[in-house]
């Protein structure tokens, strides 16, 4: 494998081959993340690790495609076609992670934490209205307990759904982005960035 270190993956035909491999891989990693979380009986989705990794390696927009495809395929598998609207959240995750990597801010631990925070807040802002439109605010998951709590405190549906998603997303996307960061750290240099972005020196 070491002999292929100088294969230039950031341009030309080979880049499109890498895109064709990494988009499905991102989708599959997202699904696996969900499965591991399910097997460990964690009350979270953990389904944006793949999106974050693909966005970091291939750039924000390829990551966004991978994220949307994940939501479409997950909804095909579960039959819940309305849930593919949550693809918007994944676009957001991919764009934030992708541009943070391009700006070279995703290398230190601090950068990773800031990225997680941004991703979590963006996901809460986008996720709440989608959940209200699709499910009427209650979506049959761990988030509902928080939502019920905020409803009991006298909030309306939309703000309860939003407030509930902040702690839930901080844990969920926070761990997902952190996992993506850990994995990226461990990859060999020539696989870290195939998007022609700034490389770690």
Partner 1 sequence: MIQERQKPTFLRKLNPITKLWLSLALSFAIVLFQNYYFSIVVLIVGIIWIFLEKYFLEFKVVGFAILTLALSMFLINGTLNPVNDFTKEPVFVLPLLNWKFYKEGLEYALKYFLRIAPLMASLFLLFRTINMTDLGAAMHEAGLSYRSAFIFVSTFQILPTLVKDMQQITDAQKARGLETEGSLKKRFMAFLPIMVPVVSNAIMKVQNQAIAMETKGFNSTAKKTIYRDLEKTKIDRILKYASIITIVASLLYRIF
Q: Hey, what's the torsion of the CAs at 167, 89, 183, 2, to 10 degrees?
A: -170
Cα distance between residue 132 and residue 155, in whole Å: 14
Residue 140 Cα to chain centre, angstroms = 21
| Strands (E) located in 92-174 | none
> Is residue 200 a contact residue for partner 1 (CB under 8 A)?
no
> Is residue 113 a contact residue for partner 1 (CB under 8 A)?
no
> Is residue 187 a contact residue for partner 1 (CB under 8 A)?
yes
Among residues 88, 113, 117, 148, which is the contact residue for partner 1, using CB under 8 A?
148
Cα distance between residue 4 and residue 90, in whole Å: 32
Site string for partner 1, 46-75 (x = CB under 8 A): x--xx--x---x-----------x---x--
Structure tokens at 39: 């097997």
Structure tokens at 1: 């494998």
> Is residue 18 a contact residue for partner 1 (CB under 8 A)?
yes
Q: Which are the contacts of 86, defined by CB distance < 8 A and separation ≥ 6? A: 71, 127, 130
- Give least dist CB 59 to partner 1, A: 15
Among residues 123, 139, 193, 195, which is the contact residue for partner 1, using CB under 8 A?
139
- Give least dist CB 75 to partner 1, A: 8
Q: How far is CA 109 from CA 44, 55, 78, 97, 118, in A?
A: 23, 18, 36, 14, 14
> Is residue 135 a contact residue for partner 1 (CB under 8 A)?
yes
Cα distance between residue 20 and residue 124, in whole Å: 30
> Is residue 140 a contact residue for partner 1 (CB under 8 A)?
yes
- Stretch touching partner 1 by CB under 8 A, among 90-98, 104-112, 122-130, 151-159: 151-159
- Stretch touching partner 1 by CB under 8 A, among 44-52, 94-102, 109-117, 120-128: 44-52
> Is residue 107 a contact residue for partner 1 (CB under 8 A)?
no
Cα distance between residue 72 and residue 188, in whole Å: 31
Site of interaction with partner 1 (CB under 8 A): 1, 4, 7, 9, 13-14, 16-18, 20-25, 27-29, 31-33, 35-37, 39-42, 46, 49-50, 53, 57, 69, 73, 76-82, 134-141, 144, 147-148, 151-152, 154-157, 175, 179, 182-183, 186-188, 191
């Amino acid at each position: 494998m070491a002999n292929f270190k100088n294969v230039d993956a950031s341009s030309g035909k080979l880049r499109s081959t890498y895109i064709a491999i990494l988009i499905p891989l991102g989708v599959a990693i997202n699904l696996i993340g969900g499965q591991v979380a399910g097997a460990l009986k964690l009350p979270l989705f953990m389904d944006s690790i793949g999106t974050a990794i693909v966005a970091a390696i291939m750039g924000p927009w390829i990551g966004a495609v991978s994220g949307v495809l994940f939501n479409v395929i997950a909804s095909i598998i579960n039959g819940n076609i309305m849930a593919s609207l949550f693809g918007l959240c994944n676009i957001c995750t991919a764009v934030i992670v992708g541009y943070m990597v391009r700006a070279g801010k995703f290398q230190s631990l601090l950068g990773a934490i800031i990225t997680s925070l941004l991703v979590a807040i963006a996901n809460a802002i986008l996720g709440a209205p989608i959940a209200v439109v699709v499910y009427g605010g209650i979506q049959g998951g761990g988030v509902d307990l928080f939502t019920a709590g905020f409803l009991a405190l006298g909030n309306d549906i939309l703000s309860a759904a939003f407030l509930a998603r902040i702690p839930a997303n901080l844990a969920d996307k926070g761990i997902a982005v952190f996992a993506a960061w850990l994995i990226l750290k461990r990859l060999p240099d020539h696989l870290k960035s195939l998007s022609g972005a700034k490389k770690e020196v």
